[in-house]
Structures are given as C-alpha cells and as structure tokens.
C-alpha cells in the first residue's frame, strides 16, 4: 500500500454515490474522469457496471451534415413527451451540441439542456488513438447506471465508426439526406448491413423521392429476406432460402422520412425504435446483441490496457532506432517487434 489506493477508492465512491443518486454535477464529473482515463476511472466503472444494463442504446450514424444532431434533439424531445429520460453522447468534433449550430437548433438544445430528464455530452474525436470506442462504451455505461431509459449515441459515419456503433447499440439508425450522392455512398460503406432503421432526413429538400427510391430498391435487393447473395461483386438470386414463417419473424428494415427541423416524422421514428426494441426482446435477438456488446467491451478494455502497457514499457527512442535499423536492412520488422513485445 502506498496510500494512493485508498484515496482513489474514496474519490470513486463519492462519484458512484453521486451518479446513482441522480446528482448531475457528479455525473458530469464521473464522465470526465472516464473520458480522461483518470486513476479512479476503472474503480468507478467496476462499481457502476452492476447498475447498468437497463437502458436501450440507440446508435445514430450517417454522413456529415445529414442532420443527425438535429434529429437526435428532436427524438429526445419525443422521448421526454413519452415520459422517458434520455442520455445523449455525440462523438463529433464539430458538434452543434458544443457550438456552431444555427440559432434555432441552439434554442431547441437549450430547452433540452434545462431538463433534468436529459443529459448531453459531446466527445472529441481527436487524439483518441483507437480508444474512442472504449471510451464511448464507458460513458454509455455511466449514463446507463445513472438510470437514463434511452441512450442515444451519435457518430459521423466515416469508415470504421459506423460499424463500431452497431456493436455498441441495440438499435442502429442510419441517416441519409437527399442530394449527397448517398445512394453510392451507402453501398460503398456497406451501411445497409448495420441499419435497423434507415432514415431519410431533410425530407423537405429536393431530390428526396430519388433518394428514397434508391434506398428502397437497395433494401429490396440486399436486405429483408436475403433473396440475393453477392458473388464476385455481382448479385445472384438465391431461390427461396427462407421459410415463410421464418420470414415473418425477421425484423424488416424500412426507410422512414423525417424533417428534423420541424419534427415531421420524428414521433413515428421513435415508435419504430420502440417496435425494434420489442422485437429484440421477443425474438431472442437481444441476448445476441448483448453478447456482441459485451465481447466488444471486453476486447476494447484489453486492447486499451495492452496499448497502455506497450507505450509505458518501450523506452523512448528505441522505436525510432529500430525503424532506422530496419530501413538500413540491418534488422527486420519481425524480430524487432518480438524484441519490443518481450519488454511488455
Ligand atoms: N432543411 C432541413 N435542414 C435540416 C434538417 N435537419 C437538419 N437540418 C440542418 O442541417 C444542418 C446540419 O444539421 P446537423 O444536425 O448539425 O447535422 P449532423 O449530421 O449532426 O452534422 P455533423 O455532426 O457535422 O455530421 C443544420 O443547419 C440543420 O439545421 C431537415 O430535416 N431539413
Ligand atoms: Mg452532429
């Protein structure tokens, strides 16, 4: 014992009591500790974890500017009207939750900010070194333990982020908007595979029908019943792979239209999310998603700890030395990696 341990535990205890007791200031502080990976973070998470597991987690992803933050705000208002509490995590360096939003959006967000049933948090993506997924999961765990009924996680859909959100969320919404060349983008990112609900936001904008049709056509081809398979980049028809009663039990991915700025379609979207939640529970799919989430959490924790150990145990300058030796072909990267790993 060096005296550090008990002090850390006490600090964590006070935060745990605050989070469980609904103290917003302590909740905000607890989230900061987790986000900054403070010394008490893992004691905090260990104590909070048994209180988590009640919230329904909703992932919201899509290309920049499709209206995700606006839609999340509108959705949160609908949940409040339905009597449920909402935690919001926005992983977004340019988030209007922290500034940059139009005045109308800010007024709406401020209305939410004054509501004890809503808690919003923006997280920066910079300097995350691949640990963003873990930190997000940890922040969700804190909000979950704090008792929020629904937790909405917004990420900008570029590359890996949208795939990761699907392993963090129970229900994943993919947001598209007219006129962004979305049709092509959606295919490229394989975004349909992760969507439980597809949303065309900005339905008041020109080109909406075209986007809607393109998405529905792709769903017909690719999703909902797997009547086609991909083979060397081509879609091939598979003859009746699914029994009809089995087909009835499947979740049907549909395309929904919203105008987040005036709430059009947002209550319908909320109801569809709730329908998905019920389907998850009744079909047994919820257990599968929980397994996926837990496996993902465990892997993230191990990865983060290994990264920390690697960074802590490799002497400063040794990596650069090795790189130079390898460049001169005096060493090879395989034995160099083995040498470095032996230090960990
Ligand atoms: N016309 C119209 N504008 C919208 C709608 N939803 C959002 N907007 C506007 O679109 C702009 C971008 O909205 P955001 O909510 O910041 O979009 P975002 O997807 O969160 O953006 P990033 O987080 O930067 O990727 C804002 O000016 C919104 O007011 C909509 O349904 N219709
Ligand atoms: Mg946003």
Segment (H or E) for 87 = strand 86-91
Atom number of ligand 1 nearest to Cα 63: 25
How would DSSP label each residue in 5-27? HHHHHHHHHHHHHHHHTT-HHHH
Nearest CA to 228 out of 242, 246, 213 is that of: 242
Residue 19: CB atoms within 10 A of its CB come to 25
Q: Report the nearest-CA residue for atom 9 of ligand 1.
A: 67
How many angstroms separate the alpha carbon of residue 136 from the centre of ligand 1? 22
Structure tokens belonging to residue 6:
């008990």
Q: Could you give the angle at which helices 41-48 and 4-20 cross, rounded to 10 degrees?
A: 40
Segment (H or E) for 257 = strand 255-257
Nearest CA to 177 out of 63, 76, 69, 340 is that of: 63
Q: What is the pLDDT of residue 127?
A: 46
Distance CA 93, CA 125 (A): 6
How many angstroms separate the alpha carbon of residue 101 from the centre of ligand 1? 9
Q: Report the nearest-CA residue for atom 25 of ligand 1.
A: 64
Q: Report the nearest-CA residue for atom 21 of ligand 1.
A: 65
Q: Report the nearest-CA residue for atom 13 of ligand 1.
A: 67
Distance CA 102, CA 111 (A): 15
pTM of the model: 0.84
Q: What is the pLDDT of residue 37?
A: 84
Compute the half-sphere exposure of residue 23: CA atoms within 13 Å on the CB side of its CA: 12
203 neighbors 265 (Cβ within 8 angstroms)? yes
Q: What is the pLDDT of residue 101?
A: 43
How many angstroms separate the alpha carbon of residue 95 from the centre of ligand 2? 5
Distance CA 75, CA 73 (A): 5
Distance CA 291, CA 159 (A): 23
Q: What is the pLDDT of residue 131?
A: 61
Q: What is the pLDDT of residue 273?
A: 98
Give every residue of the chain whose pLDDT is below 50, as ranges. Answer: 1-3, 95-96, 98-103, 127-129, 225-237, 239-240
DSSP secondary-structure letter at 84?
-
Q: Which residues of 48-81 are buried (b: 16+ CB within 10 A; e: fewer)?
A: beebbeebbbbbbbbbeebbbbbbbbbbbbbbbe
Structure tokens belonging to residue 321:
């030395």
Q: What is the pLDDT of residue 288?
A: 87
Residues 6+ apart with CB under 8 A from 134: 297, 300, 301, 303, 304
Q: Report the nearest-CA residue for atom 7 of ligand 1.
A: 67
- Dump pLDDT digits (tens) for 55-88: 999 999 888 888 999 999 999 999 999 999 999 9
Segment (H or E) for 255 = strand 255-257
How many angstroms separate the alpha carbon of residue 267 from the centre of ligand 2? 20
How many angstroms separate the alpha carbon of residue 208 from the centre of ligand 1? 15
The set of protein residues with a Cβ atom below 6 angstroms from ligand 1 is 64-70, 92, 94-96, 102, 105, 156, 201-202, 204-205, 259-261
Q: Report the nearest-CA residue for atom 3 of ligand 1.
A: 202
Residues 6+ apart with CB under 8 A from 163: 194
Paired sense of beta strands 234-237 and 228-231, if any = antiparallel
DSSP secondary-structure letter at 30?
H
Which ligand has its closest atom nearest to the C-alpha of 103?
1
How many angstroms separate the alpha carbon of residue 55 from the centre of ligand 1? 26
Atom number of ligand 1 nearest to Cα 96: 16
Q: Report the nearest-CA residue for atom 32 of ligand 1.
A: 202
Q: What is the pLDDT of residue 213?
A: 85
Paired sense of beta strands 171-176 and 118-123, if any = unpaired
How many angstroms separate the alpha carbon of residue 227 from the centre of ligand 2? 35
Mutate to test the pocket of ligand 1, among 59, 60, 61, 67 (most ligand atoms within 8 A of CB): 67
201 neighbors 213 (Cβ within 8 angstroms)? no
Q: Could you give the angle at which helices 103-113 and 68-81 cross, rounded to 10 degrees?
A: 40
> In sequence order, what E strands does 92-246 have?
118-123, 150-156, 171-176, 197-200, 228-231, 234-237
Nearest CA to 296 out of 93, 154, 141, 88 is that of: 141
């Amino acid at each position: 014992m060096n005296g550090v341990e008990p002090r850390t535990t006490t600090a964590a205890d006070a935060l745990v009591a605050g989070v469980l007791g609904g103290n917003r200031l302590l909740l905000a502080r607890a989230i900061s500790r987790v986000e900054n990976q403070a010394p008490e973070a893992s004691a905090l998470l260990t104590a909070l974890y048994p209180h988590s597991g009640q919230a329904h987690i909703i992932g919201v992803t899509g290309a920049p500017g499709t209206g995700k933050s606006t839609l999340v705000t509108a959705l949160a208002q609908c949940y409040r009207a339905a009597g449920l509490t909402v935690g919001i995590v926005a992983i977004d360096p340019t988030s209007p939750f922290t500034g940059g939003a139009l005045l109308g959006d800010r007024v709406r967000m401020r209305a939410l900010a004054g509501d004890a049933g809503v808690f919003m948090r923006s997280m920066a993506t910079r300097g995350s070194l691949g640990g963003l997924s873990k930190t997000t999961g940890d922040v969700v765990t804190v909000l979950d333990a704090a008792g929020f009924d629904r937790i909405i996680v917004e990420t900008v859909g570029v590359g890996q982020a949208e795939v990761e959100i699907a392993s963090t969320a129970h229900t994943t919404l993919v947001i598209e908007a007219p006129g962004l060349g979305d049709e092509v983008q959606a295919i490229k990112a394989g975004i349909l595979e992760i969507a439980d609900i597809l949303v065309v936001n900005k339905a008041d904008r020109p080109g909406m029908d075209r986007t809607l049709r393109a998405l529905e056509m792709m769903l017909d081809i690719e999703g909902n019943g797997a009547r086609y398979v991909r083979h060397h980049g081509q879609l091939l028809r598979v003859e009746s792979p699914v029994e009809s009663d089995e087909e009835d039990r499947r979740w049907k991915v549909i395309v929904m239209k919203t105008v987040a700025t005036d709430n059009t379609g947002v209550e319908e979207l909320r109801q569809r999310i709730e329908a998905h939640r019920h389907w998850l529970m009744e079909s047994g799919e919820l257990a599968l998603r929980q397994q996926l989430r837990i496996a993902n959490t465990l892997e993230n924790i191990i990865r983060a700890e290994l990264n920390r150990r690697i960074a802590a145990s490799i002497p400063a300058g040794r990596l650069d030395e090795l790189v130079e030796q390898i460049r001169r072909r005096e060493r090879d990267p395989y034995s160099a990696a083995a040498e470095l790993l032996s230090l960990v």
